[in-house]
Amino acid sequence: MNTEQKSSPNVFMQAPKITRAMKEDKQGHRGAVIWFTGLSGSGKSTIAHGLEERLFEIGCKTYVLDGDNVRHGLCSDLGFSDEDRRENIRRIGETAKLMAEAGLIVLTAFISPFRSDRERVRGLMPHGEFLEVYVKCPLEVCESRDVKGLYKRARAGEIKGYTGIDSPYEEPDRPEFVVDTSITTLENELDQLVRLVKERDLIR
Amino acid sequence: MNTEQKSSPNVFMQAPKITRAMKEDKQGHRGAVIWFTGLSGSGKSTIAHGLEERLFEIGCKTYVLDGDNVRHGLCSDLGFSDEDRRENIRRIGETAKLMAEAGLIVLTAFISPFRSDRERVRGLMPHGEFLEVYVKCPLEVCESRDVKGLYKRARAGEIKGYTGIDSPYEEPDRPEFVVDTSITTLENELDQLVRLVKERDLIR
């Protein structure tokens, strides 16, 4: 053993890496991002949590990223300007990517109204690892639900730049899947999504 | 069924949530953050990857966050000013927190030289969920290793604000653990860290 090695016993040891593939093999499913996009009130969060439950039952490791756990933490420094919204989606995309690399099936529930933002997130990941699900629902229906009373406030002009009212929602061009929550039941939607996950070979 | 329910079949259905505790129960270990801090060249990454291997062998779900997967993605908009470094550590902390909530044991390997930054990250998480590990190693030893040749460049004045050279490293006051990589072997360090993880009841 030479002097250099003596004084720094670890520097020449490359710790063997546990690869993503090894993790995926062991747990029996791949990491991926299922990105739910749609108007406020379309049902993104409900579907994401419902799908998480189904995936949990069949042994998948999952996580739901939504406004609740992101806006007060990772993105707490961001407001609602166009630039901040773009950065919000970018960070969510990067975080979802890291989680997918860890082997999780990440379910994100954000309006994410701009096509370019969503495409940018898609571009972060290898093909097949980002599934865009358009949670389609007519504005009138979303507005009639108005769970948080925000549409009413946006109509009254108290909130500016509200998606669907005075800010556009850009429908996905080629989403991996579309659910229309104004016509199907939650159970039916979830059946279809579980089928999608299986068809895409995310689960062995 | 009234008209309102007909037009929006899901809005009144609260999808049952899969809690963190349910995930942890099923996989047999808790989510947590093991935060390695120390000078460049002290061995943080080597130890983090080594510990990941040990934890993988005993069935834990893990992820290593380090410069490689963060600086080019989530924090690609940040430079090396004091403010940007602070924001870098904040985002890493928030991301690690989300991953721990997903049930992962997250191993972070960043110099994170400032005590206040590390304490802020600790403050994000419930007590016992953040384990600070000081990877101690004399500057001379780190500098003699100089794997990336950055100490040399910092000494030559080509890099400004390099930790240990012209920017301070603030040692942890009360870290959960200290490893001194100038005197112990990697295997010995890893044995101790696995013991720490078990003692802290992260694994059932």
Model pLDDT for residues A125-134, shown as the tens digit of each residue = 999 999 999 9
Does A204 have pLDDT greater than 70?
Answer: yes
Instruction: Please pick, among A42, A112, A116, A144, the residue that the annotation labels catalytic.
Output: A112
Does A17 have pLDDT greater than 90?
Answer: no
The rounded distance, in Å, linking the Cα atoms of A99 and A137 is: 29
Q: What is the DSSP letter of A17?
A: P
pLDDT tens digits for range A50-76: 999 999 999 999 999 998 888 889 999
Asked which of A89-98, A159-168, B114-123 is least confident by mean pLDDT, the reply is: A159-168
Residue A5's pLDDT band (cuts 50, 70, 90): very low
Q: Which residue of B has its CA nearest to A42?
A: B11
Q: Do residue A9 and residue B52 have CB atoms under 8 angstroms apart? A: no
Match 């096509």 to its residue by tokens. Answer: A115
Q: Which of A75, A98, A121, A136 is the mutation pick for testing B, counting most B CBs within 10 A?
A: A98
Could you give the C-alpha distances from A171 to A38, A175, B188, in angstroms and in order?
8, 9, 56
| Strand arrangement, sheet containing A177-180 | A62-66, A105-109, A32-37, A130-136, A177-180
Tell me if B104 sits within 8 A of B202, measured CB to CB: no
Mean pLDDT on A158-184: 92
| Residue B119 included in any domain | yes
| Residue A11 confidence (pLDDT) | 40
pLDDT tens digits for range A36-57: 999 999 999 999 999 999 999 9
The rounded distance, in Å, linking the Cα atoms of A98 and B173 is: 30
Kindly report the pTM of this predicted structure.
Answer: 0.90
Complex-level ipTM = 0.90
Is the torsion defined by CA of A140, A144, A146, A152 positive or negative? Answer: positive
The rounded distance, in Å, linking the Cα atoms of A63 and A22 is: 20
Residues of chain A with Cβ-Cβ distance to B181 below 8 Å are 8-10
Residue A80's pLDDT band (cuts 50, 70, 90): confident
Q: Which domain holds residue A88?
A: 43-199
CATH no. for residue B39?
A: 3.40.50.300
Closest chain A C-alpha to B2 CA, distance in angstroms: 14
| Residue B68 confidence (pLDDT) | 83
Residue A4's pLDDT band (cuts 50, 70, 90): very low
| Residue B28 included in any domain | yes
| Residue B9 included in any domain | no
| Residue A2 included in any domain | no
Q: Which residue of B has its CA nearest to A10?
A: B186
Q: Do residue B8 and residue A141 have CB atoms under 8 angstroms apart? A: yes
Q: Do residue B73 and residue A124 have CB atoms under 8 angstroms apart? A: yes
**List of chain B residues with pLDDT < 70:** 1-16
Which parts of chain A are beta strand (E)?
Answer: 32-37, 62-66, 105-109, 130-136, 177-180
| Residue B10 included in any domain | no
pLDDT tens digits for range B131-145: 999 999 999 999 999
| Residue B1 confidence (pLDDT) | 31
Query: Of all helices (H) and strands (E), which one includes residue B108?
Result: strand B105-109
How many C-beta neighbours within 10 Å does residue A83 have?
A: 10
Residue A183's pLDDT band (cuts 50, 70, 90): confident
The rounded distance, in Å, linking the Cα atoms of A201 and A128 is: 9
Number of domains making up chain B? 1
Q: Do residue B26 and residue A56 have CB atoms under 8 angstroms apart? A: yes
| Residue A135 included in any domain | yes
Residue type for B70, please?
V
Pairing of strands A32-37, A130-136: parallel
Residue among A14, A51, A96 nearest A191 (CA): A51
Asked which of A14-23, A113-122, B29-38, B138-147 is least confident by mean pLDDT, the reply is: A14-23
| Residue B3 confidence (pLDDT) | 34
Query: How high is the mean pLDDT of chain A?
Result: 89
Contacts 24+ apart (CB under 8 A), B89-94: B89/B114, B89/B117, B89/B118, B89/B120, B89/B121, B90/B117, B90/B120, B90/B121, B91/A74, B91/A91, B92/B65, B92/B121, B93/B33, B93/B120, B93/B121, B93/B124, B94/A73, B94/A74, B94/B124
| Residue A14 confidence (pLDDT) | 52
Mean pLDDT on A156-175: 94
Residue type for B150, please?
L
| Residue A29 included in any domain | no
Contacting residues for B203 by C-beta, under 8 A, at least 6 apart: B28, B29, B30, B58, B60, B197
Tell me if B42 sits within 8 A of B142, measured CB to CB: yes
How many C-beta neighbours within 10 Å does residue A148 have?
A: 10
How many C-beta neighbours within 10 Å does residue B66 have?
A: 17
Asked which of A2-16, A101-115, A190-204, B138-152 is least confident by mean pLDDT, the reply is: A2-16
Residue type for B199, please?
E
| Residue B203 included in any domain | no
DSSP string covering B23-63: HHHHHTB--EEEEEE--TTSSHHHHHHHHHHHHHHTT--EE
B112 a catalytic residue? yes
The rounded distance, in Å, linking the Cα atoms of A52 and A35 is: 13
